[in-house]
Structure 1
């Protein structure tokens, strides 16, 4: 009987220790960000009363349809995220838990992260302008492009900026719109040569795109697997690797022809 009592005490102590460990784990901050669908913006229109794309030096077209860049929104870099938050996100289609370093790769303080995101956005805008003007065959000395978009940082809007600049200046090359009157959304970085790169968070961005009326979503080809996994109903997925490829896909859509598929 004494041995049994001793064993019971040991088991009780072990159970108490385990419970304490689970409690600490449940309430300890994790290096995780909770992300969800963010805002979208039509680069062919205005954002908070200011035109997103302003072009001077050459005639500008009146466009129809929409080219919507998409974003995700995340818990602040200094916010405390706990196991229970990750657990809840696991069961919500509209949320995801991602390593904080993948959402805020620059690290540092909030101000440092905001500064890095702004620098990435500015570089992305410069590359988007270079790629677009190169496609049209215009020199930066002939035309001046200004891109303004509040509350958006990082490089993931590059592809949509390039498409918007082209649509504003040249359209489809024959006086028509790139969109064919559709609401087209997309994501992807772009460099000055027109190469499209991956961005992350695609399933949530697709949700934002469909929520705001898009029927077509341009996605970096390298992210096809993620994009297909949770594709919203009514949203056509079009993979791209270059600006020229994106323009070719949009041309096929306008003509009612098959487009690339993931």
Structure 2
């Protein structure tokens, strides 16, 4: 009997030891959890943490190596306003290098998601390469947010000539810094729209180009020429310009991906407009944005909803394409508002103040 009991005990200990070792084994999964949120109307320090009082200057010398607090959206050369509420962008934290026990805890969690590692880090890319791509997407989202916000505020994108190609159709007719305004009477609204209109007709087509030079408007006829690949060209390099009477800069590091674009754009508009677009509420949201102000879908919706709730938000702006997923995961006390464009997002914020109907998911 004693020998049998000892055998059972040893077997149990070996089972526990084996289970413990298996639980510590790495698995090819990553965990997605609610990440930090940032008020685009507020300020952060060098670590990306929110500053409690951005108006207070840093002591000199500073007690720590962290830089002083600085506004996320910095506008100089024009009056700005302060809002009583917040416009918070939300993020997702990614935990890689998971063990089986950590994966099980994630699967059982109501906030986290455990997904195959290759969905976040493709096998043909390193973690560093993915992080660099995310950083670039984040920077691009800031640029698009600035463009969309300025257009909303009335500062339209202009397409300027950056160079004239020798021997090209525009040589001797257009000059550097000319603003191309139309092609055959159709307005040019972006560099891409100009390219599309030129390429819509075969090489050898006469195009009437409307342009402005030094404020004076004129037109010129250009006969497009075929490039080496056969595509029609008018022989100019172009760049987008968007004149506005103030300097605008977004300063936020250590975050990646394009999903903060809409909230950056709303933050810019709120700072410039005299009205308090937040109406004293903590409003969170997510969504990519392009130069035309279209709001696009994002990933990590459940985690971002929980992150917003933890940050005290009561309203969450959701890209229209993410509404179904958001409805299935919304925490209690968080109102979902569906938006498809920047204009719709601004109108939704206005409705929060007037008590008007909100576009719900």
1:236 aligns to 2:338 (yes or no): no
From 38, 43, 55, the equivalent of 2:40 is: 43
Cα separation, 1, equivalents of 2:86 and 2:78: 22
1:145 aligns to 2:165 (yes or no): no
- Counterpart for residue 103 of structure 1: 120
TM superposition score normalised by structure 2: 0.61
CA shift for structure 1 position 63: 2.3
Which ranges in structure 2 are unaligned for 5 or more consecutive residues? 1-17, 46-68, 157-241
From 151, 154, 159, the equivalent of 2:262 is: 159
The 5 Å alignment of 1:97-246 reads: 97-104=114-121, 108-138=125-155, 140-142=242-244, 143-170=246-273, 175-246=274-345
Which ranges in structure 1 are unaligned for 5 or more consecutive residues? 1-19
Cα separation, 1, equivalents of 2:122 and 2:261: 18
CA contact (8 A) 1:106 1:113 kept: no
Cα separation, 2, equivalents of 1:130 and 1:107: 33
The 5 Å alignment of 1:52-71 reads: 52-71=72-91
- Give 1 or 2: higher helix fraction: 1
- Give 1 or 2: higher strand fraction: 2
Cα separation, 2, equivalents of 1:41 and 1:56: 21
CA shift for structure 1 position 24: 8.2
Larger Rg: 2
Describe the SS at the equivalent of 1:156.
coil
Cα separation, 1, equivalents of 2:299 and 2:262: 14
Aligned length: 233
Alpha-carbon deviations, 1:53-84, whole Å to 9, x = none?
A: 001232212222100000110114xx2x3444
